[in-house]
Structure 1
Amino acid sequence: MTGVAVVREFLQRMESGDRTGAQALLAPDAEMIFPGGRRFTALDEVAAYGAGRYRSVRKQYLTWDEVPAQHGTAVVVCTGTLVGETLEGTAFDGVRFVDRFSLRDGAITGQQVWNDLAELGVVRPGAGA
């Protein structure tokens, strides 16, 4: 599988709530860094963080880029917009995001997430901590 295919599958599993399936695509030492510099090593932690920020969220993808393995590590970057519902029940859409993934031997070793949820007032800064 290409790096893009691995990342797409990971994100689809996460969006559908299949954390066990998503975990199978992560390297044992994978680390995920979310807005505010919050670091996670377990998908249950990521889910709890999201539950403190919004009722629902999904991604609409605009671009996918892959840099083939250099020194054993490949990089995949996807961009797009977020659509979902705030904790208060207000719908939102058009919120920009960028996700950067690193992969080694076909497994995700890292994810870095940037988005405009706080900037646009969808969530308060520091929510989900």
Structure 2
Amino acid sequence: MPIVEIHLIKGYSADEKKRLGEVLTDAVRLVVPAEPDAITVMMHELDPTNYYRGRTTRSPAPAVLDPAKIVRDYLSLMETRDLDAAQSMLAEGFMMTFPGTLPMTSLKDLIDWAAQRYQFVTKAYEGFDVLQGSGDAAIVYCRGTLSGAWPDGKRFENIRFIDRFEVVAGKITKQDVWNDIAEKRSSHE
């Protein structure tokens, strides 16, 4: 039965501590074959006046925004075509690659490219998986199925997809997309 103890400066919200507890539990499970109920996480909070580093008291750093929520919000804005709000979630130098394309750097390029492929598309999500990359980027995978309409208006559904995002400092820096839309489209034509 693994036990993880962590010492924190007081100041993190209950939701932030819950997220931390879940992530620590999941991290243990990557190495130790234990069910979540067998893993104990204990958080010890210190008053900022009881924490010194470099002869100075410290305050807690703000919690990192949930990368999965950032991606969900971005995808929701894209689906409703709130492109200005979606653009505000992208880092400078953002790059995205879709099947059969060279990397694109603007949402306008994506919309123009997609117009030749379908009228609209919606996503049904089966899950979001988050991990910390080896650098500063959090990696978010989302997976599920696509539904929508071809350029001629005929409907399609249940097309598999997986998207991989990189999130740094609360902004999306990269998106890679894989799906079976080309295979379904060729059978439609």
Normalised TM-score (structure 1): 0.91
Q: Which amino acid aligns with 1:77?
A: Y
Q: Distance in 2 between matches of 1:123 and 1:35?
A: 17
Alpha carbons of structure 1 residues 92 and 11: separation in structure 2 relative to 1, 3 Å: same
Q: Does 1:5 align with 2:104?
A: no
Matching residue of 2:167: 103
Helix, strand or coil for the counterpart of 2:149?
strand
TM-aligned CA deviation for residue 77 of structure 1: 0.2
Select 1:61's aligned residue among 125, 140, 149. 125
Residue 84 (1) aligns with residue 124 (2): no
Identity across the alignment (%): 38
Counterpart code for 1:53: R
The count of residues paired between Structure 1 and Structure 2 equals 124
Give ranges in structure 1 of 5+ residues lacking alignment: 125-129
Query: How far apart, CA to CA, are the structure 1 residues paired with 2:186 and 2:114?
Result: 13
Q: Compare the two structures and name the one with the higher helix fraction.
A: 2
**Normalised by the size of structure 2, how large is the TM-score?**
0.63
User: Secondary structure in 1 aligned to 2:184?
Assistant: coil
The partner residue of 1:20 within 70, 84, 108 is 84
Query: Where in structure 2 are the equivalents of 1:33-72 lying within 5 Å?
Result: 33-72=97-136
Moved beyond 4 Å, runs of 4+: none
Shift in Å, 1:52: 1.0
Mapped partners of 2:185, 2:78: distance in 1 = 24
Quick check: 1:113 aligned with 2:177? yes
**Partner deviation per Cα, 1:84-126 (whole Å, 9 max, x = no partner):** 00011111000000000001111100000010011123688xx
Amino acid corresponding to residue 167 of structure 2 in structure 1: L
- Distance, in Å, in 2 between the alignment partners of 1:83 and 1:48 is 19
Q: Relative to structure 1, is the Cα distance of residues 12 and 43 closer, same or farther in structure 2, using a 3 angstrom cutoff? A: same
Looking at structure 2, the residues matched to 49 and 58 of structure 1 have their Cα atoms a distance apart, in angstroms, of: 16
Q: RMSD in angstroms over aligned alpha carbons?
A: 1.5
